[in-house]
Amino acid sequence: KKRGIKVTDQEIDLTIHDILQQNGVTMEELKEILKKQGKDLDQYRYEIKTQIEHSRLISQEVRGQIVVTDEEIDDYLKKHPVSNSQSGPIYVLQDIFVGFDGSTVSKEEAEKKIHAIYSSLNKPERDETALAQFQDLGSFTLDEMAPFLREHVKGLKKGDISGIISTENGFHIIRVKDLLLSNEDSLKAQRAEIRRKLMKEKLNARFEEWLKELRRNASIRILL
């Protein structure tokens, strides 16, 4: 294991789905292309897993070198002022998403997977592996949420999870990571959100530099 970095089958499935869409090919066409290259799908999945692990390792190293200062957040707020008024509590949300496209992952497979995750989350002692699959969505008031999301989140408390939410692209489970009730909490949430945004921008810029270097070296190639 590379510094505790884990890559799930779901992440590999979604990466293959993206590659198929970007290149305009089907799963069967991909298998034929791999066959001509002397590979099979299992080998291809392993290459993708290795590439994701490598990318995350680089991301960890880069993240440790990047700092967002309070002054940068203050400058951002001056250029992008936000209202201090608050229309109800702010929900800090996380999401587990299992998508399907009918070729790489069927709706039935995605539904089976999301129900297994949901079951593990509702055990008396929650499965830490399942909890680790949640990804941060951001901070929202109920008015800022999409209607389908609002109806499932309204009434949840800190630490609660929603039921399974079905959409045309897949299935979601939402978790309320935090619930901020006061204007002071709201300001803290806004600054934390801005810090994440600025950190992401810096990470993306540094990561693009790394990708250019990777392409120049052409050491690993997972795209068609």
Q: What tens digit of pLDDT does each residue of 124-148 get?
A: 776 677 788 888 888 888 888 888 8
pLDDT of 166: 92
CB 24 within 8 A of CB 224: no
Give 186's pLDDT tier (boundaries 50, 70, 90). low
Query: What is the Cα–Cα distance from 42 to 46, expressed in whole angstroms?
Result: 6
pLDDT of 220: 40
Degrees (nearest 5) of the Cα angle 96, 98, 103?
Answer: 165
> 163 or 132, which is more confident?
163
Mean pLDDT of the chain: 81
**Euclidean distance between the first and the last CA atom of the chain, given in angstroms as a whole number:** 27
Question: pTM here?
Answer: 0.51
Residue 108 pLDDT > 80, yes or no?
yes
pLDDT of 184: 63
Each residue's pLDDT tens digit, 15-50: 888 788 777 888 888 888 888 888 899 999 999 888
Task: Give start and end residues of each alpha helix (H) in the chain.
Answer: 9-23, 27-36, 41-63, 70-79, 107-121, 128-131, 147-153, 183-217
